[in-house]
Chains A and B, each alone.
Chain A
Amino acid sequence: MKGEGMKGINKRAKELEEELQEEVFGMSENVSTSMPIGCTTIFDTGWETNPRPDSPVGNCISSARDFTSCSGPCWWPAQTPDNITNFPDFQNQCRAVERDWRNLNFVIKR
């Protein structure tokens, strides 16, 4: 809740402001590439986006076969459970996606 113009009024608050200024590194800074990083910790945007107009197509067959690794490094954060941060134990519900996909509850938590 740090507002513009708000300043620490005691010693501890001032120390805290100084500490935070020194320690915070924004992800957007220090990155020497224009490629998106965000949740995806690997620099590539994915073969599945198919950068070429014709063959090789590069789409995974079937998409379920590519689920396991994609959910790991947050490759498709919208389509797979983010098991780095929000759903670290998704594999307990879904040990094999082709068999257990109905058990996934990462959209609506029960």
Chain B
Amino acid sequence: MKHRSLGILAMVFVLCALAGAFSPAEAKDFLFVPVSNALQIVDCDTDTVVKTVPAYNDYIMSAAPSADGKRYYLNAQHSVYVFDTATHQLIDTFRLSSDLNRVTILGFAVSEDGGKLYLSCSITKKKQNVPKLNVLPPQLLVFDIPSKQVVQSFEIPYCVSGVFTLRNDPNHLMLVGLDIHKIQLSDGKLEKVFGFLHPDAGGEPANNFIIWYNQSPGDPGIFVNAYYTPSAMYFLNLDRNTGEIKSVKASDIFMLYSCVLSPDKKYVYAAMDDVVKFDAQTGATIKSVTLERGTSYAVSITSDGKKLYVGPSGTDITVFDTETMTQLGTIPLEADGVAVHRISQ
């Protein structure tokens, strides 16, 4: 009887050990920070740079991870660099400009299936030996990643700096600029769905500065950014799951470059000269802290929502505890940068 009990216990122990061995490992959070001439990777457990990849020679204006987190795309204005996030290797470069065809990428998004890039572009054409530049109307280019070809292009409104995919609707994109338009990808048909500069009758014209999209793969999928009327600040909530757009009036006015929503969707964290925690539902300010290191562009949050990363702009990222908004430390970088994205692996 004693031997039988011991045998059962041993079997249970072995099963537990096997279950532990084969359960999926807990994902670790990393920050991907494209700075001038190098991609830097930060381990969010230790808040240190663990790798610097000097794989390109360029200034990076913006970046975006693919929905599955396997690829990281860097917008170098005239070309796009593609990194494998597991190996940290530069695996491809898409050069869109030539001497006679200058393409400048203002904003871009990766399709949800990872097969296409949607690029908001300004295109200037020149002809050999003809002293004249032809500035085309702004274009949305649909770039097929496997074939490395532009497969569609559509005329779009001026100043579209934000391009957003919809997670459950591969046939439309949201284009954010002077206003928000929904574009149908089959024929380029545009529908105005929200007015910043051209609000509905009776509304105040508003201004925005939408360059940063601090998304992470697996996040709630809601783009949040501040916008301003002459008298108030609002948060734009663009739900990429449903396409719904909602505005929340903030209780105070801060000058803010970019925002990120907490994983539980309760808080908005935003930064420029200050880092500020807001109630996402009411727009009330919970706490603001002036940034010791100065103006910062981007914000990123860990997958458990406990740590906030503010920066870069200069050569650093500042780490905050999201509960208390106290500064935990500063991560030095090799060069200036504009973007940061958290990718869990």
Measured in the bound complex, the distance between the Cα atoms of B106 and A96 in whole Å is: 23
On whether the beta carbons of B273 and A68 are closer than 8 Å, the reply is: no
| B159 contacts across to A, CB distance below 8 A | 33, 37, 41-43
Kindly provide the distance from the CB of B273 to the nearest chain A CB, expressed in whole angstroms: 5
Measured in the bound complex, the distance between the Cα atoms of B335 and A56 in whole Å is: 29
Tell me if B37 is interfacial: C-beta within 8 Å of chain A: yes
Kindly provide the distance from the CB of A95 to the nearest chain B CB, expressed in whole angstroms: 4
User: Which B300-330 residues sit within 8 Å CB-CB of chain A?
Assistant: 312-315
Measured in the bound complex, the distance between the Cα atoms of B312 and A66 in whole Å is: 10
On whether the beta carbons of A61 and B315 are closer than 8 Å, the reply is: no
Kindly provide the distance from the CB of B229 to the nearest chain A CB, expressed in whole angstroms: 11
Question: Given A89-B57, A98-B315, A99-B315: A23 and B134 within 8 A (CB)?
Answer: yes
Measured in the bound complex, the distance between the Cα atoms of B338 and A97 in whole Å is: 13
On whether the beta carbons of A73 and B314 are closer than 8 Å, the reply is: no
| B313 contacts across to A, CB distance below 8 A | 65-66, 68-69
Measured as residues with beta carbon below 8 angstroms from the partner, the interface class of chain A is 35 or more
Tell me if B272 is interfacial: C-beta within 8 Å of chain A: yes
On whether the beta carbons of A56 and B253 are closer than 8 Å, the reply is: yes
**A31-56 near B? 1/0 per residue, CB < 8 Å:** 11101010001111001000100001
Measured as residues with beta carbon below 8 angstroms from the partner, the interface class of chain B is 35 or more
Measured in the bound complex, the distance between the Cα atoms of B302 and A19 in whole Å is: 54
Tell me if B136 is interfacial: C-beta within 8 Å of chain A: yes
On whether the beta carbons of A96 and B178 are closer than 8 Å, the reply is: no
On whether the beta carbons of A65 and B335 are closer than 8 Å, the reply is: no
| A98 contacts across to B, CB distance below 8 A | 314-315
Measured in the bound complex, the distance between the Cα atoms of B293 and A24 in whole Å is: 46
Q: Which of A30, A56, A88 gathers the greatest number of chain B CB atoms within 10 Å? A: A56
Kindly provide the distance from the CB of A63 to the nearest chain B CB, expressed in whole angstroms: 8
Question: Given A56-B255, A95-B336: A72 and B61 within 8 A (CB)?
Answer: yes
Tell me if B337 is interfacial: C-beta within 8 Å of chain A: yes
On whether the beta carbons of A41 and B37 are closer than 8 Å, the reply is: no
Q: List residues of B whose CB falls within 8 A of some A CB.
A: 35-37, 57-59, 61, 77-78, 102, 104, 106, 122, 125, 130-132, 134-137, 157-159, 161, 177-178, 197, 207-209, 211, 230, 253-255, 272-273, 291, 293-297, 312-315, 334-338
Instruction: Give me the 4 closest cross-chain CB pairs, A-B, nearest first.
Output: A95-B335, A91-B36, A65-B295, A60-B295
Q: List residues of A whose CB falls within 8 A of some B CB.
A: 1, 16, 20, 23-27, 30-33, 35, 37, 41-44, 47, 51, 56-62, 64-69, 71-73, 83-85, 88-92, 95-99
